[in-house]
Amino acid sequence: MRTIKDWPEAERPREKLLDKGPEALSDAELLALVLRTGDASSRMSALDHARLLLGRFGSLRELAAASVAELCDLKGIGPAKAAELKAVFELARRFGTVALRQGDRYTCSQDVFRHFHEQLRDRKKEVFLALLLDSKNRVIRQVQVSEGSLTASIVHPREVFAPVVRESAAAVLFVHNHPSGDPTPSREDVEITTRLREAGELMGVRVLDHIIIGSGDYVSFVDRGLMG
């Protein structure tokens, strides 16, 4: 089997990119440039590996969500190539994120969605976060409260408000993801939000919102009139 170096120059992914630009390459050709080399023992080129990966996972987004162990299950993909792929997808995720940095002022739910969407949309478990704010709604820091199925036993006011008290935060908003991709609030989401809002009132801490991140969409409890 010929390697990519044996192909006509116009068909090689690297030369094609340099000549026509990256937009001219297929997903498999771009992945082949990341992988760089094939596997001599199986006589597979980097492009063969790229096509195998896309065939196995179905799309770039599913490939990006795959674990290192899942990637290494494919013949010819070892820890080094798996690490290269994870690094590229992480760079892409960070590039697509609009950061809410310490000191930035929170103004609307869309700010939170843009900040957390790429970070949370492909997580396989629910992650519950608290964004701590000062009296002028400026970001102090974000805190992960829990990871796993969202239940009253996991998201307890005691654990949620402990970092709020430590940081002397004047306000807090909550963010979590739905691995299903559908951000519609569940009954548990509504119940937990009510408990946390009531706890905040007792402690003199403003609970500004609870925002659920889905795949390409989100729900804000305030925007939906669900904060009571």
Q: How far is CA 222 from CA 30, 163, 211, 212, 226, in A?
A: 42, 23, 9, 11, 6
- From CA 150, how far away is CA 146, in angstroms rounded? 8
pLDDT for the residue 41: 64
pLDDT for the residue 152: 44
Q: Which domains does the chain have, with CATH numbers?
A: 4-95 (1.10.150.20), 109-220 (3.40.140.10)
Neighbour-count burial for 40-55, b at 16+ CB within 10 Å, e otherwise: eeeebbbbbbbbbbbe
**Residue-wise pLDDT tens for the chain (228 aa)?**
456 666 766 678 889 999 899 999 999 999 999 888 877 666 788 888 899 999 999 998 889 889 999 999 988 888 999 999 999 988 887 776 666 777 888 889 998 998 889 888 888 889 999 999 999 999 999 999 988 765 544 688 888 899 999 999 999 999 999 999 999 999 999 999 999 999 999 999 999 999 999 988 999 999 999 987
CA geometry: angle 23, 24, 30, nearest 5 deg: 75
DSSP class of residue 39 equals B
